[in-house]
Amino acid sequence: MAVLCKPAVTVPDNVITNEETLELATRLHADHPQLPLILSLIEHTGVQKRHLIQPIEKVLQHPGFDARSAVYEAESKARVPAVVRQALDHAELEPQEIDLIVYVSCTGFMMPSLTAWLINTMGFRPETRQLPIAQLGCAGGGAAVNRAHDFCTAYPDANVLVVACEFCSLCYQPSDLGVGSLLSNGLFGDGIAAAAVRGNGGIGIRLEFNGSYLIPHTEDWISYAVRPTGFHFQLDKRVPGTMEPLAPALRAVAEQHQWNASKLDFYVIHAGGPRILDDLSRFLDVRPEVFRFSRATLTEYGNIASAVVLDALARMFDEASALDGQKGLLAGFGPGITAEMSLGTWSG
């Protein structure tokens, strides 16, 4: 069976703390009628700091969508290769041994995808298949793992590289003054993660079963408005309550595999915010500490979109607490509202 190996993760050097974010919001939006609410929401995100590809002074400017697209391309080409090399080293693979690259990003657009550039510059074979995923948002990390698993199920000897590159700061829109938009400015950070899925061998999560679930008629709860100035993030106030309908979906996927979602040994969950994790703990009837990897990602990096699940998984590797044969769940949540879920056992 396919094994999801240890991810490699990097974040930029530019840092903004939660205290600095609150000070900026107070200074820039002093006359906003809902400023106290906005400050309270940002203060309770659980985020202590975030990392940005540009200093905050540049982030606060908007040079135009074309200029931001140029920054996205330059920064991804400058930063992704080192993460890819480290992920391949973790999996003890060489570029020419990869059969598919799944590239996930919802914060910038290139055509052809960065996968073509990676193949041409990093020694991957010209026959390497490409699967860019752009429109699943934060759920994209879970979807990438699941599509890698599906590929290795169809081709048992294959190896897949998953890459998540998210520069959320390039979606900042100074003219957007809605509560959801201003909250997102204090929640999202930038980060890159990569991991290999080996068809044979490897140490990590042996992927056994995956599934997807979309909450009906919620497609406008998390969305982009695409305008001349780029991607405008739209967040409905009902999003924090989505774990109540999603928890049964997680249970159902586990039950299809004859597992109990409340009695697993490890959980790697997308950390969209603290209430997501608090509610999931309650609705799954699990101890809050089982989400410690996800909470650590949120605290130290903020919400880094599709890269969250890979960063949380890397933290689980670093803790070295998983034992051979233990069962676990990996899940990402995003627009749709969509959940991408995967079950696996630890293979040491």
Cα–Cα distance for residue pair 293/316, rounded to 1 Å: 6
Q: How many Cα atoms are found within 13 Å in the side-chain-facing hemisphere of 88? A: 20
Q: Is 5 annotated in the active site?
A: no
Cβ-contact 161, 101 below 8 angstroms: yes
Residue 340 CA to residue 327 CA, distance in Å, equals 17
Residue 236: C-alpha distances to residues 55, 98, 107, 169, 272 (Å): 29, 39, 19, 20, 13
- C-alpha distances (whole Å) from 251 to each of 218, 243, 254, 329, 337 are 20, 12, 5, 10, 17
Minimal CA–CA distance to 249: which of 294, 218, 287?
Answer: 218
Q: Of 138, 152, 165, 171, which residue is the catalytic one?
A: 138
Task: Tell me which amino acid residue 143 is.
Answer: A
End-to-end CA distance of the chain: 13
Return the active site residues: 138
